[in-house]
Amino acid sequence: MSSIPDKPALEGLEQKFAEVWEREGVHRFPGTEGGREGVYSIDTPPPTASGSLHIGHVFSYTHTDLMARFQRMRGKRVFYPMGWDDNGLPTERRVQNYYGVRCDPSLPYDPDFTPPVEGTAKSTRAGDQVPISRRNFIELCERLTVEDEQQFEEVFRTVGLSVDFGQTYRTIGDDARAISQRAFLDNLARGEAYQAEAPSLWDVTFRTAVAQAELEDREQPGAYHTVAFDGPDGDVVIETTRPELLPANVALVAHPDDERYAGLVGKTVRSPVFGVEVPVVAHHLAQPDKGTGIAMICTFGDLTDVTWWRDLQLPTRAVIGFDGRFVSEAPAAIESPRGREAYAELAGKTVFSARATMVELLREAGKLLADPRPITHPVKFFEKGDRPLEIVSTRQWYVTNGARQPELKQRLLDAGERLDFVPDFMRVRYENWVGGLTGDWLVSRQRFFGVPLPVWYRLDGDGNPLFDEVLVPEAAQLPVDPSSDVPPGFTEAQRGQAGGFVGEVDVMDTWATSSLTPQLAGGWLRDPELWEAVFPFDLRPQGQDIIRTWLFSTLLRSELAFGELPWKSAAISGFIVDPDRKKMSKSKGNVVTPADILQQHGSDAVRYWAASSRLGTDAALDVLNPTQMRKGRRLAIKVLNAAKFILGFEGEADRSLVTRPLDLSMLAALDHVIEQATAAFEASDHARALEIVEPFFWTFCDDHLELVKERAYGDDAAGAASAAAALKLALEALLKLLAPVIPFATEEAWRWSHSASVHAERWPEPLGLGGDRALLGWAGDTLIGIRRAKTDAKASQKSPVASLTISGPAAVLQGIELVIDDLKAAGRIAAVELRVDDTEGAAVTVSDVVFVDDAQ
């Protein structure tokens, strides 16, 4: 226990109790004894450890913490870990600039490497960056992200997250890499992972393939170009936004029911400028009402081109390289000298420059039939990129995801039906994603700071890789880096030699690691007892925008590996929006960092703001007028002041001492609050629980305390004991009910009369002492009427009253008669007349107030 301060304050409580909770192990997972029974496990989102946290993290992580604290107080052994997602492109770029290095996977590891610079003030030029091995590069990434992780942990402790920081993992750590590689090798062994040469969405800035889940459409300016092909009976006119892809043209396509082109399908036309003969084909995806109704198929302009190319088994004529520029060599189909000269004008140019050149070539050839018509249309981007994606042909690794496996797709849809989505309307986002999948999951990335794909390839007698002869490590070798480690049965001297091997240089998509957070947190490989105790997890909290990525990919990996759901429930948070209802994001420049807000309002106030929003509902944040945070701070301060006042009364929180009707009524009303709040928390509706508890708390402070304090100080020993006992019993229950929302203020108040943490206490149960809970409401209404009458008379609330009349229904007056002494004492009233008013809908009213001064 701690002494009650003269002036209770919120300042300093965050640091004080963060240290106390860590020292006492309040949030520590109790252990695996007892197995899965009695465990509540949370698959906590690992924030990206690059840059800084934003207020959205505080918002959504508080939602999770509310449930963790509630379940802990319900007697569950809560497994609440934290992870740091520290692999990804932002980290790579930051490390390159910070240390002046770049990764070259072909280089050997240097255990004594020292970076040339550390903490540069500006970006270093690529030409000045020192090439280092991937292992050296990863070590520098780990060194830099540790600083971010420490800052993140400090913020989370300040917010009051009841995370067990002893159960922390890093997505690039040895354990995480071993688990990620083992899961991939299991996919490979079961036939779920495969490699293929196929059209891939490609980000020319990051030089990496992009998965379907990482796409976003952005409205971009463009133009329709009206172009004439030479047909057997004259011009065949098409409209295209990508005229620069004419050298990659492999066919024209029309809808099979379009009578305009029925006689043309099956024949050939000749492309303008390049003079290549291409077939006219039919496909149901052609749109008769778009443009002229006939379109050119190029390899590749968009995803529809890929579908046409695959379905119609068309040739490939690639013209755009990995750098986003036109390749130097023209497709072999361009045979004419004029066509090859025209292509030479495009070679080496960016897409935009090549488009301008192509327009001029078409205009000179008389094949551009009209000036370009400006439009705005959606264009595919990598969600982290700033240039439109291209489609290039690459060899990549894939994992089956149900897009082409009807039986797997149905299993995934069935799993989504079994999963408890909170709120339930978020389920449709998962179902729409699964139903709309068009290709398997591309899991390989052309990056460096990530989990290496754990395979090597045998080389033939000429030193060419045999991609069908994949070499894999032994389980005991994991984690491995094929760029520096050696496959079983080989030596380092055989690397790159004919008859030897070559290591895979690609790494896994970040979601290929993050999809394994249950395994990473739950000790899948390192701690079988822990794994048995926590899996499947009870809760997956996350944002709605990554249902298609994190939720889906985790569920997929669990279904493939274990044939079961990875968690019982998925709690989906809404977005933080600015006062204009725009989603806060770094790209929009309207993100608010939490440090200033936490310092200005205090953690309890910020948590109150977060707790006031239901799952799946967007919350507005106006930093200039943070109404909810002010309400939260006012609540936290009131908790401290009320606790100080109540603990000043003599007596114990002994239920046997509660005998007076008003005290019994208050506790009966509190019992009802406990039942409703418990049900709300059990339904994952923390906002509803707060809506139930907070009004009662204010009624308790403003009405009940005022009604009984005179009796609590009075000479009637039994009446005083009843008042004090009821107040202290209610205080204990209310501190517990509010503990998940405002953990610091409730802990401070609790420690004034207890030695252990309120967060280690059991959730309150109804006392069941009897009493009519309506009585508290009637008495409160009457007290409000007395206050209003004094205010209307412009008298002080302390002014003594000689007499007044209370009118209301007979049943209500019978109840008021039971508490008349408390009312008289609270209102300083000498005499009260009760007047029955049984008019339908009649309310309690106070009238005929005669003040003592007037009576004299």
d(CA 411, CA 564): 10
Query: What topology is assigned to 221-380 in CATH?
Result: Isoleucyl-tRNA Synthetase; domain 2 (3.90.740)
813 Cβ contact list (under 8 Å, min separation 6)? 806, 834, 836
Closest CA to 559 of 418, 432, 408: 408
pLDDT tier at 113 (50, 70, 90 boundaries)?
very high
**pLDDT over 90 percentage in the chain:** 75
Our CA dihedral for 33, 36, 42, 48, rounded to 10 degrees, sits at 70
Which is the CATH superfamily of the domain at 1-27+622-771? Isoleucyl-tRNA Synthetase; Domain 1 (1.10.730.10)
- Number of residues in the chain: 856
Where is the binding site, in residues? 586
- Residue 574: helix, strand or coil by DSSP? coil
- The pLDDT value recorded for residue 143 is 84
SS (H, E, C) 375-424: EEEEEEEECCCCCECEEEEEEEEEECCCCCCHHHHHHHHHHHHHCEEECH
Q: Is 449 within 8 Å of 137 (Cβ atoms)?
A: yes
Domain 28-88+148-178+512-620 maps to which CATH number in 3.20.20.330, 1.10.357.10, 3.40.50.620, 2.40.30.10?
3.40.50.620
Binding residues for ATP: 586
Residue 851 parent element (H or E): strand 845-851
Asked if pLDDT for residue 50 goes beyond 80, the answer is no
Report residue 228's pLDDT band, with 50, 70 and 90 as the boundaries.
Answer: very high
For the cut 70, the answer to whether the pLDDT of residue 384 exceeds it is yes
Task: Report the alpha-carbon distance of residue 134 to residue 111 in Å, rounded.
Answer: 12
Convert the pLDDT of each residue in 587-646 to its tens digit.
556 667 788 899 999 999 999 999 999 999 988 887 777 899 999 999 999 999 999 999
What residue spans define the domains of the chain?
A: 1-27+622-771, 28-88+148-178+512-620, 221-380, 794-855
Give the pairing of strands 829-836 and 801-808: parallel
Answer yes or no: is pLDDT of 856 > 60: no
- Per-residue pLDDT reduced to its tens digit, 796-852: 999 999 999 999 999 999 999 999 999 999 999 999 999 999 998 888 999 999 998
CA distance 224 to 374: 6
This prediction's pTM: 0.82
**pLDDT (tens digit per residue) in 125-141:** 767 889 998 889 888 88
